[in-house]
Amino acid sequence: MTYLLYINILFQIPTKHRIKAMLKTSIYRIESENNGSNSTIKVTGTSKNELLIVAKTADLTPENRKTLSDILNAIKYNLEDSTMLLLDEGQSVSINTYIHKHDIKKVISFGLSPKDIGLQIAAAAYRLIEMEQLNLVFSHSVGDLNADKQKKIALWKTIQGL
């Protein structure tokens, strides 16, 4: 069993001459790296371009895979040079291991929330999130992008900054 210890240091300044530090400690139990259903995460690609794509397996129909490839080609990336994690319905993953293992610098999540990929952050769709040496973008599913041109345009504008 694995545990994560998180210590948050809060500072208060009660007077001009003394600084008092307060600690808030939380312990989180981590069940496993891959949560949700018992099936394994499908990992494809070479990670030459330092891009991680996370999506649901059911969302990547042949038509949607072509759309994803076209989106990446528009910003001079290709699907084969990216690492892709495919999750089954109800499955979640911690992307941290994959980021370090494949030397990932950019992540695009399609149709998954931050919690689904092991992040405890609030994120809006089509906003570039910069975290240390990692850039993240959350998008609607590729199927939703195919159905709504405005969503596709919003994603395209955001990922140009990757």
Give the pLDDT confidence of 123-138 residue by residue, as tens digits: 899 999 998 889 999 9
Place of tokens 């099936």: 39
Say yes or no to pLDDT of 49 above 70: yes
Domain ranges of the chain: 34-159
CB 111 within 8 A of CB 53: no
Instruction: Give the span between the Cα atoms of 162 and 148, in whole angstroms.
Output: 22
Band of residue 161 on the pLDDT scale cut at 50, 70, 90: confident
Average pLDDT over the chain reads: 80
Say yes or no to pLDDT of 18 above 70: no
CB 125 within 8 A of CB 150: no
Phi–psi pair at 111, nearest 5 degrees: 70, 15
Q: Which fold has domain 34-159?
A: Uracil-DNA Glycosylase, subunit E (3.40.470)
**Section 86-112 average pLDDT:** 92
Say yes or no to pLDDT of 139 above 60: yes
Instruction: Give the span between the Cα atoms of 147 and 87, in whole angstroms.
Output: 21
pTM listed for this prediction: 0.76
Say yes or no to pLDDT of 99 above 80: yes
Which residues have C-beta within 8 Å of that of residue 122, sequence separation ≥ 6?
114
